[in-house]
A and B are shown apart, each in its own frame.
Chain A
Amino acid sequence: MAPGAPHLVVRQVSKRFGAAHVLDRVDLTIARGELVTLLGPSGCGKTTLLRLIAGLESPDAGSVELAGRDITRVPPHRRNVGVVFQSYALFPHLTVYGNVAFGLKSRGRSRGEIDAAVGRALSLVHLEHLGARRIAALSGGQQQRVALARAIAVEPDVLLFDEALSALDRKLREEMQVELRRLLREVGATAIFVTHDQDEALTMSDRVAVMFAGRIEQVDEPRIVYARPATLFTLGFVGLSTRVSGIVAGSNNGRVEVDTAVGRLSAIGNFLIGSPVVVAVRPEHVRAAPETAGNCVAGRVRSIVFHGSNSLVEVDAGAATTLLAQIPNDVSAPPRVGDEIRLCWPVAETFAFPMPEAGA
């Protein structure tokens, strides 16, 4: 749910580099105080979209509005945005204080104001004691915090993070995700994160915009993106899934019967009879149980990957089809490799997507 009125509006923005369409008529609306992630594989246009919002690229078509002002043709230094770069881009010839004060000095603030604002920003990131330190004398995590403090200090209309956490090691990254989210909430910032890391996207944001080939495939709350992916791409990019292709044999009230290589499956969806579709299910809905309701497929266990409280079981269902099932490890007789197994899952958790055209 978007709290408040539109704060950042990207309207029909297109951008090409040479012959390549990097962004293709992208629309995105973000409310004040919202944390939104642009998620997608490299080359999907997410960084270009971020740079367009920052003013570091200009769109070939479309417009960008920020805080009620059309900034499409406004140069970056008059936009009031804060950017945290992947490489941090801290000024190596300045101290921590000098870096954080840079934006305030550019805005011609008084010395007292600058001191106070730098102090506030540094204490937000717990670096108030390192103001005099040189950048080269900081650890990667500390540099990350300085970059954040520098961007926050000017109280920008929107904070933009370009893969800002990807340079940190995993443990530090996970800590920073939680801390960053808390901190951004605390200062009421509107922020956009660019990442290819789905965990980061699901953890950090109020909404996730999944991007592919220059287009936004879906913008929704993380749980909806995961549980109700709008496109086959989103399904495949966020989380694990089993996918089986088939032909629609029956259609009734938002439910379709699909003939596949592993038998007839029921799924949610509206398709004409005879349409080629892909039927999909998340592994956590697949159970090794003697249920009779829903979709059931038999097969042989090919591999088991232990994940603590559950195991990811790969089942060969024949006809070149592999099913993924996430089986809780509390069952008395866990499946073993080579076992014959019958897997069932509810129809309500079975999606049907139109078959992508050849080559796509």
Chain B
Amino acid sequence: MTHAAAQAPAGKIVDRDRSAALAFLAPSLLFLLVAFVTPLILLLGVSLAGPSGLSLDAYGKLLGTGYYLTVIWNSLRLALLTTIFALAIAYPAAFALARARGMVRTALLTCLFLPLAASVIVKAFAWTILLRSDGIVNRILVGLGLIEAPIRMIFTETALIVGSVNIFLPFMILPIYAVVTQLDRRLSEAAATLGAPPIAAFLKVTLPLTLPGIIAGVALVFSLSVSAYVVPTLLIGERYPTLASTIAKAYLLARDPQFGAAAGVALLVIALIVVTLSARLAGRENSR
């Protein structure tokens, strides 16, 4: 930034600020180093450690087998669909939440936060209870005469996406909500008085200004759902193998830590790409 230099007339102050920031960050950096970076390096090491020294066999198996490419695609597809549907629901919901006042707002926020306190396993099981053939949804539909016999809902991709969107939705709503509450409502009015019809005003003013929230929510939900284990295992099971379930199987059943580690690295790379891309996008948005 060209104005960064103008804002920092004395280099010394910046140096001192920087070392102070570093001192404040030190505990968390140390923790991350021990608890996160070291295991990652170990993971990378294991993924490359064949029975007879260094080998890329695990990666070859992962990227060279049709089945495992399907597995990778399954994880990506789950993450993509979850992210798209969560965004479609969360965006208007965040506005409703930001516009709500008093008791309504408190109630809505509680609805948003309370599910976060329940374990993902509980929520996934709850969906299986709702959706199974003698579950509530089927019984209501049969009772209303809308369907003659219970239809298969559980163990379908629809069930998977519905459950996944439900579980990860708060992580999309919250960052967007945070941005929308900062939005000056006068801006849309200004756009209207300047001759922009509602849709144009939304596309040219509201959307660009809420984009940082969208980017943050997409990054969160995508990286959470691409690595989801419990949700696909309980809601669709064997029919939809994912990277996460592959890792679990490699470690727990096949006793093949090298392959499990390689799948773990693949998952990490996907998450890194998404996070880096969104950080880039958000950065560009901020410096415009």
Contacts and interface: CB of A to CB of B under 8 A. Distances in A.
A154 B196 CA distance: 12
Contacts of A92: 209
A107 interface: yes
A102 B196 contact: yes
Taking residues whose C-beta sits less than 8 angstroms from the other chain, chain B's interface range is 20 to 34
B256 interface: no
Given A91-B205, A102-B194, A154-B194, A76 B189 contact: yes
B200 interface: yes
B192 A87 contact: no
A83 B195 CA distance: 11
A170 interface: no
B190 A91 contact: yes
A53 to B, nearest CB: 10
Nearest to A76: B192
B196 A83 contact: no
B60 interface: no
A137 to B, nearest CB: 7
A89 B195 contact: no
A85 interface: yes
A82 interface: yes
Nearest to B183: A92
Interface in B186-220: 186-187, 189-198, 200-201, 204-205, 208-209
A77 B197 contact: yes
Interface in B11-46: none
Contact of A85 (B186, B204, B208, B288): B186
Max count, chain A CB within 10 A of own CB: residue among B184, B195, B209: B195
Contact of B186 (A87, A134, A137): A87
Given A91-B205, A93-B288, A137-B3, A56 B196 contact: no
A81 interface: yes
Contact of A154 (B195, B201, B288): B195
Interface in B273-288: 285, 288
A137 B1 CA distance: 12
Contacts of A150: 190, 194
A106 B201 CA distance: 9
Given A91-B187, A137-B3, A103 B194 contact: yes
Nearest to B3: A137
Interface string A49-75: 000001110000000000000000001
A107 B191 CA distance: 12
A77 B190 contact: no
Interface in A22-80: 54-56, 75-80
A80 B192 CA distance: 10
A89 B189 contact: yes
A83 B189 contact: yes
A54 B209 contact: no
A283 B205 CA distance: 52
A93 B184 CA distance: 13
Contacts of A75: 192, 197
Contact of B184 (A55, A87, A103, A107): A87
Nearest to B208: A93
14 contacts: A54-B189, A56-B192, A75-B197, A77-B196, A80-B195, A81-B193, A83-B189, A85-B189, A91-B190, A91-B209, A93-B208, A93-B209, A102-B194, A103-B194
Interface of A: 54-56, 75-83, 85, 87, 89-93, 102-103, 106-107, 134, 137, 150, 154
- The 3 closest A-B CB pairs, nearest first, are A103-B194, A106-B195, A89-B186
